[in-house]
Amino acid sequence: MQNKKELHDSKIRFTKPRDEILTVLKEAKTPISLQDIRCKIDESIDLSTIYRTLDLFEKHGIVHKIVYLETGTSVYEYDRHLHVHHLICIECRKIVNVEECPLGDYENRIALETGYQIVRHQLELYGICPECRKSAT
């Protein structure tokens, strides 16, 4: 029922596939790939429905899409309305949430300079995690 209300509040029609996909996203402890979502939902839900649903959820701010720059592949994270940024390992693809945001003052300055009303931002930092650095030596 919670999913139904959330979708209704976002002005998204409730369907069984959307309900299942949203449930999987909410239960995921870390960002999840489209393939992993597909494995956890009813097999009768086709891939194009999953793509369209994730795109719709992203447009409505229900999920964040994180793209691995090196491969172009994406993972999705349910928006728990926490302001987090991400550290992404380019070797093992581990994602670490960073809750501190250094962009508040910068965002305000840019808004004043440009006249934009900034509604959100997303910061992703790419590097090599300590475990991968250790195994490379």
pLDDT tens for each residue of 66-116 = 888 778 889 999 987 667 788 989 999 898 888 888 888 899 999 999 999
Q: In the listed set 61, 81, 101, which residue is the last one of a domain according to the structure? A: 81
Q: What is the pLDDT of residue 81?
A: 66
Q: Please report which confidence band the pLDDT of residue 7 belongs to, taking 50, 70 and 90 as the band edges.
A: very high
Q: What's the CATH number where 125 sits?
A: 3.30.1490.190
pLDDT tens for each residue of 16-39 = 999 999 999 999 988 999 999 999
Same-domain check for residues 88 and 130: yes
Provide the domain limits for residue 45: 1-81
- Whole-number Å distance between alpha carbons of 90 and 93: 6
Residues at the binding site for Zn(2+) are 89, 92, 129, 132
Q: In what order do the strands lie in the sheet with 95-98?
A: 95-98, 85-89, 124-127
Q: What is the pLDDT of residue 39?
A: 95
Same-domain check for residues 31 and 75: yes
DSSP code of 13? -
Residues at the binding site are 83, 89, 92, 121, 129, 132
Q: What is the pLDDT of residue 97?
A: 84
Per the structure, how many domains does the chain have?
2
Partners of residue 86 on adjacent β-strands: 97, 124
Could you give the dihedral angle defined by the CA atoms of residues 72, 75, 78 and 83, in that order, rounded to the nearest 10 degrees?
-60
Residues at the binding site for Fe cation are 83, 121
pLDDT tens for each residue of 123-134 = 889 999 999 999
